[in-house]
Amino acid sequence: MNTIPIKTNQKEEFLDLTETIQEKIKDTEIKKGVCTVYVPHTTAGVTINENADPSVKNDILMTLKKAVPDSLPYTHAEGNSPAHVKASLMGSSVEILIEKGRLKLGTWQGVFFCEFDGPRKRQVFLRTIET
């Protein structure tokens, strides 16, 4: 298992991890298999989406802010309930196929760490399985 340390700088942000994950896969020398990307945090998540146009991640964040507003009467004592809900919506893991030693992503796809309660120090776990 590999660990990727993350340092976020904003309350909410998406960090593109695609190249970092690809480098970790290269180090494993696995040519064909599966990579699981897992985020062990309750106020952060992971997703696969477009990484060619940076406005896409901004549009996703904007939509999540409207869908999960800060102004609802949440009862969680820490005051970060919206972050928990957004993390649940995004999910805590993704699986990506590995072919010829590379992530099998679509032309415009990237893997994003999704921060909803930053800035913080975080981590992402990778597990690769050869098939």
| pLDDT tens column, 69-125 | 999 999 999 999 999 999 999 999 999 999 999 999 999 999 999 999 999 999 999
Distance CA 43, CA 58 (A): 18
- Is the separation of the CB atoms in 33 and 102 below 8 Å? no
Residue type, 20: T
Residues 109 and 51 sit within 8 Å (Cβ to Cβ): yes
Q: Read off the pLDDT band of 63 (50, 70, 90).
A: very high
Whole-structure pTM value: 0.96
- Domain positions in the chain are 2-70+78-130
Q: Identify the CATH number of the domain defined by range 2-70+78-130.
A: 2.60.120.460
Q: Within 10 A of 119 (CB to CB), how many other CB atoms are there? A: 12
